[in-house]
Amino acid sequence: MKKIVRICLLSIFFIVFSLVCFCGTYFLVNYLKFSNLELNVDALTSKGLAVEIFDNNGEKIDEENNFNGEYVQLQDLSPDTINAFLSIEDKDFYKHNGLNKKRILKAIYNNLKSFSLKEGASTISQQLIKNTHLSNEKTFERKIKEMVLTRKLEKNFSKDEILEFYLNIIYFGNNCYGLESGANFYFDKSAKDLTLGESALLAGLIKSPNKYSPISNENNALKRRNLVLSEMEKDGKISKSEYLKNQNEEIELHIHKKESNKLNSFSQASLDEASKILHLPAKQIAIGKYKIYTYQDKEKQKTLFDALSQVDFQGNDYAGIVIDNLCHGVNAYYGNSAYKILDAKRQVGSTIKPILVYAPALNENVINPETEILDEEIKIGDYTPKNVGGKYSGYVSVKDAVKDSINTVAIKVLSYIGIDTGKMYAEKMGFTFDEKDNSYALALGGMTYGENLKTLTNTYTTFANMGKYDDAVFVSHILDKNGKVVYEHKVKNQNVIREDTAFLMNEILTLTAKSGTAKKLSQIENVEVASKTGTVGKKGGGNTDAYNISYTPEYSIGVWCGNLNNEKMSINGGNEPTSAVKNYILKTNHKKKSFPKTSLVTTAKIDLIEKENNHKIVLSSPYTPERYTKTVTFSRFNMPTEISQNFVKLKDIDAEIKRENATTTLFLNPEKQVEYDIFLNNEFYRKIKEKDREIKINLPLKKEINEIKIVASFLNFDNSPEKEKVFFVENKNSQKEREKIKKDKWYI
């Protein structure tokens, strides 16, 4: 037993020793390999950087692309501000030589345990190098490069200089690079005037500007700020009373409004996308002198700006985007808010219905545009959805349900295909769902987080592209400082739905633009327009979000209005957002006027009587008069097969005669499509047609035995089959009886 234990221990020792030797050798070889890397002093000291961004004609986009705000000197900052960053980011900054060996060993141990590179043990010096010299890739080689350059940094600059460089390049979210820019944006003040609580908030923010954003994740920001205060108290930088006082204070922001348009400019959106593509911070893109080429169409950009400017959005946030259907490139984008609109996921309301419900149901052959569904009050467990205004219309067709954005019908159709099926299609068109998104509220846009405007608008390009989808992008290609192409966007259209489904959705949503919730677009006559509106209401009244998503054969346009702080507003999707879309389309030239056709659809005549009476979609018989038919477009994969029997064979005549007192009455239950000729004693008496309710006819009987004949035939139908029904009625009021009655009445 002891021998086995000894062997196991020796084996473990050998494995660990070998691993240490391998790692040490790997580190040493690469450290020597990268020892010639040069420190870019300009990247550390430059106080004014910008990125060149171009439109689709290669012309520079005339928007501000600078990153650095005013440069702040370390000597101007309060000790609380400096200590907040040191306590949370690098307690031993003034003690180590750029590399904290204890933290490195601890990070290595934790990474080996988790088989990942989650922990980096970066000092402030290392973070400065990473943000000015290297990509964000998590690889051992990048880490070794970082160490080499960090040592060179420490040899060339003092600790105060390094800390000052660091505080002027770190990212605080919302396009804020550097402490002065962050203080100005979030608190509308200079960095030298920051309070202890404000300093702690900004120091906590830099670890993850999205996760700890005081705008979108206030609870996270509060916890992180208090952690910074706690670390400062542990380090003896503040007193216990200061810690307790500041941790109980609420976050009070004063967003600097002047930054709003810059935050939501086309250039900023393009730069954010390029940063993700290159895995580089925006400042490093500027330092590296990369050139970003985009899909912006200068004319469309101006038209979009003008179209939005002409609408009174009543002081609420708003944005518009135009996407080329074919290449999925963003041709125009503009937003107005104190926050980054494209970073925000918002509830999408009824704009999700075509994506999650109707297109999937058409593609699964569960419905066709004429399918009739009962619009009524429904309850699913504890969920009791309502229509707008609490109105219910009885049986409605699918196309009318989409056109009028009826909620209960959308939920019923989703129940026919299943939530998972609806989500599968929506995900293929770009949507992202949370694991909690599993209720029928999804049919009305009830998501945990929602979607951003670019993704939402781009889903509708699927219909214009006859079922093909690809992600929308701002950037077409990127060049490095030597003119070499380092990135080029390539269209990867994938089939999500069939061509027939896309064609039918185009027809339905075109109807919505003509006479539905987006009927403001009915004034547009020079191009086909398909559209869907959406409004997100709030309990207690008022709305938080309003949309119009429309598309022509060439491009898709989305307009959103709301408030990223969730303040209520009175705007709805069918009004201001739709007006902005109308303004844009009316001022745009259109090369393609009509949506594409497909051989995967066909037309057929349906029987309107069956639809009206029985809510069934069946083919009309060859004998059905035109007035009782309607020509409808169907997918060839989902044609009705049943043929109406309404005009093949006449039904028996539903009639009877009753005699009460001295009156003889004919009771007839007619069918609307049948005409009835009534003969009295072989003489034509009366014609009944286009009636579908009981008819009462008092008959003047002149003979003792009277013949009443009813002849039925199909209305307006040549060579119609006929049915007859004959009654013989005895007239008990003979002449003598009538005289007797008259005489009796005289004496009465």
Rounded mean pLDDT, 639-651: 87
Question: Across the strands, what pairs with 530?
Answer: 551
Q: How many CB atoms lie within 10 A of CB 5?
A: 9
Nearest to 191 by CA among 211, 217, 210, 172: 172
Q: What is the DSSP string of 696-722?
A: EEEE---SSEEEEEEEEEETT-TT--E
Confidence of residue 50 (pLDDT cuts 50, 70, 90): confident
pLDDT at 608: 93
CATH pick for 655-747 out of 3.30.70, 2.60.40, 3.90.1280, 1.10.3470: 2.60.40
* pLDDT grade for 181, boundaries at 50, 70 and 90: confident
Q: Do domains 83-169 and 176-259 have the same CATH topology?
A: yes
Give 394-410 pLDDT, tens digit per residue: 999 999 999 999 999 99
Q: Name the residue among 738, 712, 739, 713 with its Cα closest to residue 725.
A: 712
Judged against a pLDDT cut of 50, whether residue 115 lies above it is answered with no
- Residue 26 pLDDT > 50, yes or no? no
Q: Once rounded to an integer, what is the mean pLDDT over residues 158-182?
A: 87
User: For the chain, which residues make up each domain, given as ranges?
Assistant: 1-33, 83-169, 176-259, 601-635, 655-747
Predicted confidence at residue 261, as pLDDT, reads 67
* Phi, psi angle pair for 437, to nearest 5°: -80, 80
Q: What is the dihedral of CA 118, 121, 127, 130, to 10 degrees?
A: -50
User: Cβ distance 238 to 229 under 8 Å?
Assistant: yes
For domain 176-259, the CATH class is mainly alpha
Please determine, for residue 668, whether its predicted confidence score (pLDDT) is greater than 50. Answer: yes
pLDDT in tens, 277-311: 999 888 788 888 899 999 999 999 999 999 999 99
The amino acid at residue 573 is G
pLDDT exceeds cutoff 70 at 105: no
pLDDT > 90? residue 604:
yes
Strand partners of residue 288: none
Q: Is the pLDDT of residue 553 over 90?
A: yes
Q: Could you tell me what percent of the chain has a pLDDT over 90?
A: 61
| pLDDT surpasses 90 at 748 | no
Q: Kindly report, residue by residue over 59-103, the tens digit of the pLDDT.
A: 999 776 655 557 889 999 999 999 999 999 999 889 888 777 666
The whole-chain average pLDDT of the chain stands at 87
pLDDT digit string (tens) for 207-256?
998 899 988 788 999 999 999 999 999 999 999 999 999 998 988 988 76
**539-567 burial string, b = 16+ CB within 10 Å, else e?**
eeeebbbbbbbbbbbbbbbbbbbbbbeee
**37-41, 363-367, 546-550, 634-638: least confident range:** 37-41
Q: pLDDT-derived band of residue 529, with 50, 70 and 90 as boundaries? A: very high
**Predicted pLDDT at 528:** 97
Asked whether residue 618 carries a pLDDT value surpassing 60, the answer given is: yes
Q: The domain 83-169: what is its CATH number?
A: 1.10.3810.10
User: 47 or 23: whose pLDDT is higher?
Assistant: 47
